[in-house]
Amino acid sequence: MSRRTAALLASLCLLATLPAAARAGEDCCPKEGEAAAEPAVSTPDEVKAALADKKVTPVDANGPETRAAFGTLPGALLLGDAGVTADLLGADKSRALVFYCSSERCSAAPGAAKEAMALGYTEVRVMKAGIKGWVAAGFEVSK
């Protein structure tokens, strides 16, 4: 393989790893001094307290099998095949939302939370411990 071909292949591989916005020439990265848009993280204890005070709406990013096995947080909105939509989350973009999936090893909740942030929701958190962490803490679930 020639050096030119190897360089071209390396460039294509690098390009493939960039976010779609960057490939399209859009500004996808934070400006100097700006933080990356990542959802805040909450523990099961923090979520339980916020639920008791009616200060947050839980959003379940689990599939039907996980919900059947572990249940859901009380009052949770259930993400379905349509994913994160304004119809599901509601018109109030300042509504406090906490996304969760099965456990720290799952990426569904962080991904869904980022989608909500992209839709303009401003109070978005993730409970990384997921439903398994919630159950392990001994907290109530809905079946």
Fill in the amino acid letter for 10: A
* pLDDT of amino acid 37: 80
* pLDDT of amino acid 28: 42
Q: What is the pLDDT along the chain (143 residues), one digit of tens a residue?
A: 544 433 333 333 333 333 443 334 444 444 444 444 899 999 999 999 999 999 999 999 999 999 999 999 999 999 998 999 999 999 999 999 999 999 999 999 999 999 999 999 999 999 999 999 999 999 999 99
- Domain limits of the chain? 40-136
DSSP-derived letter for residue 119 is T
Find, among 53, 84, 61, 38, the residue nearest to 131 by Cα.
61
Cβ neighbours of residue 94 under 8 Å, at least 6 residues apart?
121, 122, 123
Q: Where are the beta strands (DSSP E) in the chain?
A: 40-41, 57-60, 77-78, 97-100, 124-126
**From residue 3, how far is each of 6, 9, 10, 111 by CA, in Å?**
5, 10, 10, 38
Find, among 36, 51, 66, 77, the residue nearest to 131 by Cα.
66
φ, ψ at 31 (rounded to 5°) = -75, 165
pLDDT (tens digit per residue) in 55-68: 999 999 999 999 99
pLDDT (tens digit per residue) in 96-117: 999 999 999 999 999 999 999 9
Residue 57 structure tokens: 């709406």
Superfamily of domain 40-136: Rhodanese-like domain (3.40.250.10)
What pTM value is reported for the model?
0.75
